[in-house]
Structure 1
Amino acid sequence: MSKILIDVTRLLTRLYDGLLPTGVDRVGLAYVQRYGGQARAVLSERGVSSVLTERDSLKAFEWLTSSICNRNSIRRLVISACTSSLRKTAFERGILLHTSHNGMEFQRYYRAMERRNVRSVFMVHDLIPLTHAEYCRPAVDQAHRQRIRTALEHADGLIVNSRFTLDSLIAEAQQAHLRMPPAVIAHLASGLPVRAHGKRPIDTPYFVFLSTIEPRKNHWLILHVWRRIVEEYGNAAPKLVIIGRRGWECENVIDMLERCVALKGVVIEEASCSDERLSTYLQYAQALLFPSFVEGYGMPLVEALELQVPVLASDIDVFHEIAGDIPEYIDPLDGLGWIAQIKEYMQPESRARAAQLDRAKHFRPPTWTTHFERVDDFIGSLQT
């Protein structure tokens, strides 16, 4: 078995900053839980990397999996890593597993791994900044293109979360006239622990929208939908719970949240929501709303269906790949379609909701066991 190295730079930085894990972070934490007992941790900055000692690696993995944040200890660990970077650690054979996009763009990172006799395997979560730059911050498309093309040129292998992401990656390689490295599709399991029902958080019917607030997630349309529903139903309108931080390029959404009188008391923002509270919100919801214009995967869809919570989702390919015919699919531009489905699903005896719950009984959620079986086989194939 190859020696496993895991780049934990993003995870440790976010822990230090006191930030709750995103979907990308949940994936990284799953890799730490799976391989941490036999792995070494890697820290990197602008392509300059350091392999932590076994002792420091175990410390870092323990902090990450337990969410223990001792800022002084993390600072000392980083200083130790900077010192150890002067020593050229090499392995008989090694595999780097890098599960975030951070640092993919630096060629010296790959070269340093080659000198350590380590093969670099990166996870690609999406190519959205390349395919849909209009939904991202300015210049993010250029930065992400550099990441992806550097990985295509220098990575020994790529892990992707969906067929949709792999197809996007192949198209980018062809457009850039670059070779396509070996790749494996490994669907992601829910990062949300399955918990027993807690106390119902809201007495009246409500829907959940789980996502960072950013343009491609389509919050603006849903808020206009909700205003129309409030106009029709008044105090009987269902609540909308938006779970996620405010992101970028979303001023119009913030204007609606802060200044739309009709939505006051009806739309509830939860910017920092623990896993326990999120699980409770989902379990009592009429449905999860997932109206994105584009996704590389769609972790909230998996999280909801695993909890047997209905989903109203955009009619996009990757959602069909993950969930088949279980959700109700609606075009992300079809405001009237969203209104109709929400009005149906808010009813106590909704037949459509009951029918989806029946379909959801047949949902087979991706598991980390299956994910890592595919990853382990892939790692093995790179050594032959």
Structure 2
Amino acid sequence: MMDDAPHIFMDVSRLLSRARNPIPTGIDRVEYEYVHYLLHNEAYRLTFVAFHPVGIIGTLRMQAVRDFLHMMGQVWDGDIALRDRLPRMAQRLLQSVLLSHWTMPRYRGDSVYLLVSHHHLTRPRAIETFLSRHGSLFVPMVHDLIPMEFPEYARPGEPQRHTRRMETVARLAAGVIVPAKAVARSLAPYVKGRPAEGHVHVVTHGLHLQLSQSPDGTPSRLPDDGRPYFVCLGTIEPRKNHLLLLNLWRTMAEEKGKDTPRLILVGRRGWENENVLDMLERCPALQGNVLEYNDLSDPEVVGLLQGSLGLLFPSFSEGFGLPLAEALVLGTPAICSDIPVFHEVAGADATYLDPTDGPAWRGAIDAMVAESLAHRGPARTARMNLFNWPRQVAAGIAVVDETAAFFRSDGRHGS
């Protein structure tokens, strides 16, 4: 315990807003793990807060957040019976924000407002008011700048919204956490000459601890015919480049028939994906050869990856690439796009290909199938020491403390 450690106002707005979604996204998981770690390791200097849509940020009772987090974890792990209860709990928590905003005393002492999602960065006035009221420093996490760098893959209006988010970060942040060096390079021009310049820190994401339990969670809906398969994990949207794989599988199915390995798509349907959906629903060659799962629990995804020939990840751009990290930890081979962030995650432990080079992908997939048939050996060894969430969150909290210490010594804390 550090006597001079700053108080942490941990924002849980993202988790409250996602209570109706039983399958977490990567950013959902990040906020969950930060909250879980702080509850168990830093509660002595912790206050939970959330943003209310009327434009205010208020506090939440710690026990109420603890109960909510416990139930959310159970829902993500596949407890269907709790799915209807979680949104009601989130609504009660959000309602309590209104009352706490008017009754919460000003905090006296060093404090940091920590926001590890992009949830309300488009509402800078609420953040600025909270910082001013409590004399806090602002440390957000920026996951990526993809909507600004690749607007052609974003939903309409999202590039403009993300620009506003980065303007908020540039103007108000004292320090910033990013998941990869590639994101730090993208962010650098926006914080140049701002308080956060020189205080952008790379903290790699961790992975859900349930990976270490090696669950027998392969979806029962997967045909029980022993047919080998590959997995593509991620929201079905243009940036993920599913169309490359679907075109390859159509050709393979026409050439190989029943000897074609299956392609399993795991992820919800996103936006601007009409071409992909048309192929999934109307291409005869893909029927039975490409399967789509939109609602798998964490244990099912792990079981699916463990039983696969490999992960296919042809994305054009990523802020981190959690599926690739999951494959590494499970010992599952991976073929992925040759982009800088994937090299940061996987090093020499993946096959890198141009995401537009269809023939190269086909060759690598065929080679992986042949290698699997030739070497039916013992189960792959999982490497659980990689991407440990408690260790990574501890590194993120160290950034919070370092930022507070710098501005304290500089005489600008709470100014």
2:56 maps to what in 1?
A: 48
Is 1:12 the equivalent of 2:30? Answer: no
Q: Deviations over 1:93-114 (max 9, x none)?
A: 3222211101112222133123
- 8 Å CA contact 2:68–2:86 kept in 1: the answer is no
SS of residue paired to 1:198: coil
Deviates more, 1:279-288 or 1:197-206: 197-206
Work out the CA distance in 2 between the residues paired with 1:53 and 1:363: 34
Contact kept in structure 1, 2:217 and 2:301, CA below 8 Å = no
AA aligned to 2:94 is: V
Which amino acid counterpart does residue 202 of structure 2 have in structure 1? I
Partner of 1:86: 102
Which range moves more in the overlay, 257-266 or 74-83?
74-83
Alignment of 1:270-349 (within 5 A): 270-347=293-370, 349=372
**Paired amino acid for 2:112:** I
Greater displacement, 222-231 / 60-69: 60-69
Match of 1:95 in 2: 112
User: Does 343-352 or 239-248 show the bigger shift?
Assistant: 343-352
| 2:289 corresponding residue in structure 1 | 266
Q: Distance in 2 between matches of 1:199 and 1:366?
A: 21
Gap regions ≥5 residues in structure 1: none
1:247 partner SS: coil
Partner of 2:409: none
Moved more, 231-240 or 34-43: 34-43
Return the structure number with greater relative CO, CA threshold 8 A, min gap 6.
Answer: 2
1:362–1:23 distance in 2 versus 1, CA, 3 Å: closer
* Structure 2 equivalent of residue 3 of structure 1: 7
CA root-mean-square deviation: 2.4
In structure 2, what is the Cα distance between the partners aligned to 1:249 and 1:127?
19
Aligned to 2:237: 214
* TM-score under structure 2 length normalisation: 0.85
- Displacement of 1:364 after TM fit? 6.0
SS of 2:28's partner is helix
Q: Which digits, 9 at most, give the CA deviation of each residue in 1:241-274, with x for residues without a partner?
A: 0000000010000000000010001110000001
- Please tell me whether the aligned partners of residues 23 and 191 of structure 1 are also in contact (alpha carbons under 8 angstroms): no
The alignment status of 1:28 with 2:31, answered yes or no, reads: yes
C-alpha distance in 1 between matches for 2:217 and 2:24 = 24
In structure 2, distance between residues paired with 1:197 and 1:167: 38
| 1:56 to partner: Cα distance | 3.5
Per the alignment, residue 245 of structure 1 pairs with 268
Question: Is the CA contact 1:323–1:363 (under 8 Å) kept in the aligned structure 2?
Answer: no
> Match of 2:102, SS?
coil
Decide whether aligned partners of structure 1 residues 198 and 55 sit closer, same or farther in structure 2, where only a CA change above 3 A counts.
closer
1:137 aligns with 2:163: no
Could you say which residue in structure 1 is the equivalent of 2:411?
none
Secondary structure of the 2:138 match is strand
Query: Any stretches of 5+ residues in structure 2 without a counterpart?
Result: 76-81, 406-415
SS in 2 for 1:312: strand
Q: Distance in 2 between matches of 1:184 and 1:247?
A: 30
Q: CA deviation at 1:66?
A: 4.1
Distance 1:7 1:362, change over 3 A: closer
| 3-state SS of 1:383 partner | helix
CA separation of 1:151 and 1:53: change in aligned 2, threshold 3 A: same
Q: Deviations over 1:336-383 (max 9, x none)?
A: 0111111111225467999xx99x888962222331332232222222
Change (3 A) 1:378 1:328: same
Residue 319 of structure 2 aligns to a residue whose secondary structure is: coil
Tell me the residue number matched to 2:79.
none
SS in 2 for 1:245: coil
Distance 1:172 1:70, change over 3 A: closer
Structure 1 pair 59–363 and aligned structure 2 pair: CA distance change class (3 A): closer
Q: Could you tell me how far 1:41 is from its partner in structure 2?
A: 1.8
CA distance, structure 2, for counterparts of residue 80 and residue 172 of structure 1: 35
Q: Counterparts of 1:63 and 1:22 in 2: how far apart (Å)?
A: 17
- What number of residue pairs does the alignment pair up? 378
Residues 285/70 of structure 1: CA separation in 2 closer, same or farther (3 Å cut): closer
* Equivalent residues of 1:291, 1:332 under 8 A apart: yes
8 Å contact kept, 2:175–2:196: no
- Following superposition, the deviation at residue 199 of structure 1 comes to 7.0
| Alpha-carbon distance in structure 2 between the residues aligned to 1:74 and 1:324 | 40
CA distance in 2 between counterparts of 1:352 and 1:364 reads: 26
Structure 2 CA distance for aligned equivalents of residues 26 and 204 of structure 1 = 32
Out of 241, 244, 247, the residue aligned to residue 224 of structure 1 is 247
